[in-house]
Amino acid sequence: MRFLTVSINNFRNISSVEINIDAEDIVLTGINGQGKTNFLESIYTLCYGSSFRTNHLKEIIKHGTNGFSLSAVVENDNGVREKLRIIFSDGKRQITIDGKEINDRRNLIYSFPCIVFSHDDILFVKGEPENRRKFFDQMMSLYSPFFFDSLRSYRSILMQRNAAVKQKNKDIIALYNNRLASFGLEIMKERAEAVYGFNAIFPDLFKRISGTDMNVSVKYQPSWGAMEDSGEIVEYLEENTDRDIILSTTTSGPHRDRFTVMCDGIPFSSIGSTGQIRLASILFRIAEAEYFSEKTGKNPMLLIDDVLLELDSNKRGLVLESLPSYSQAFYTFLPNESYFSSKRKDALSYEVVEGAFRNDRS
């Protein structure tokens, strides 16, 4: 799958642009604040129908305008070209592929798999547990519709159960326990498998790029512990109903699971240097992309947003050389940065200045 052209209108600081991106590697250069990340955000929004920088699409609209639109000509894995379009206006989002409206974003996600590398990824390593849950949930949702649906159902039931908890209605709470346990158990099993697969890739990758013998991996700790039977989980939920009511929330379940980055039995965030933690966060994404390809047989699109600056020049080059196979990759760099091998010297390059794009070859 490859994007051939993209049109952007009233998206952040980009007023109106249509550019050719028919290449395996696309490089955007420019000083900070010119629109490089905004461009990557537009590609991500086309792939997901949402942003990696905000939960509110209205924040993306260019100041002084009423909405934004994005469109792209995309060539799928079968060589068939499609027109993808997203319009956001008056608080409403419309997504179409070849004029046919897409009502469920899951259809978009599996058509255009995309992985973004951003500065906020460092929170996967040193941030709160919810950040690592988010990482693994996103990683798994990208290759598993079954997990995506289970997670969606679990969250819906959890919301309803929490409402009943706040109302202190034990009869209604009990009605939700079986379904919460059933979907939660599936999520636990899928997460355990995903962490196992991730740990088959990440530790060796970190050793090789960091040049150390540090054994860095992810430890999965389910909130429901080693429970493997939904009946056992229901019994546990019932036993803790009073505690839930006192605290006005469901105090156990996959939404409380913990993923901890460990190094030889010690939390990595407490012993890793700033550079090592940044490197680990980048390699999280590389491991994600490699695991995605293993699970699906497909190559994702990569959006790499200026995440290499905190690494020394040697590691920057090693990271780029370690990228797994991809369908297309977009990079943002400051002026005069270059860490590519000869293969990527044929990349399509644009200089970005105040939301405008100039082809370096023109």
0.85 exceeded by the pTM? yes
pLDDT at 310: 83
Say if residue 360's pLDDT is above 70. Answer: no
Q: How confident is the model at residue 325 (pLDDT cuts 50, 70, 90)?
A: very high
pLDDT of residue 39: 97
Confidence of residue 112 (pLDDT cuts 50, 70, 90): very high
CB-based contact 49:93 (threshold 8 Å): yes
pLDDT tops 70 at residue 156: yes
Band the pLDDT of 361: cuts 50, 70, 90. Answer: low
170 pLDDT band (50/70/90 cuts)?
A: very high
Query: Strands, DSSP E only, in 56-170?
Result: 67-75, 81-89, 92-97, 100-101, 114-117
Radius of gyration of the chain (CA): 22
Q: What SS3 state is found at 77?
A: coil
| Predicted local confidence at residue 341, as pLDDT | 59
In the chain, the domains with their CATH numbers are 1-113+299-362 (3.40.50.300), 120-297 (1.20.1050.90)
Q: In this predicted structure, what is the pLDDT of residue 343?
A: 55
Classify residue 171 as left (phi > 0), alpha (psi -120 to 50) or beta: alpha
Q: How confident is the model at residue 93 (pLDDT cuts 50, 70, 90)?
A: very high
Convert 30-58 to b/e letters by CB count within 10 Å (16 or more is b). beeebbbbbbbbbbbbbbbbbbbbeeebe
Closest residue by Cα to residue 160 from 147, 178, 148, 173: 173
E-assigned strand segments in 12-147? 14-20, 25-29, 67-75, 81-89, 92-97, 100-101, 114-117
Give the count of alpha carbons within 13 A of 220, CB side only.
22
- pLDDT band at residue 312 under the 50/70/90 scheme: confident
Instruction: Report the Cα 345 to chain-centroid distance in Å.
Output: 28
Q: Which residues pair with 7 in a beta bridge?
A: 18, 71
**Span 179-238, pLDDT tens digits:** 999 999 999 999 999 999 999 999 999 999 999 999 999 999 999 998 989 999 999 999
Average pLDDT (47-74) is 95
Report whether pLDDT(76) > 90.
no
Q: Give the model confidence (pLDDT) of 36-60 as tens digits.
A: 999 999 999 999 999 999 999 999 9
Predicted local distance difference test score (pLDDT) of residue 265: 92
Report d(CA 279, CA 316) in Å as an integer. 9
pLDDT at position 362 is: 44
Give the C-alpha separation, 242 to 165, whole Å.
9
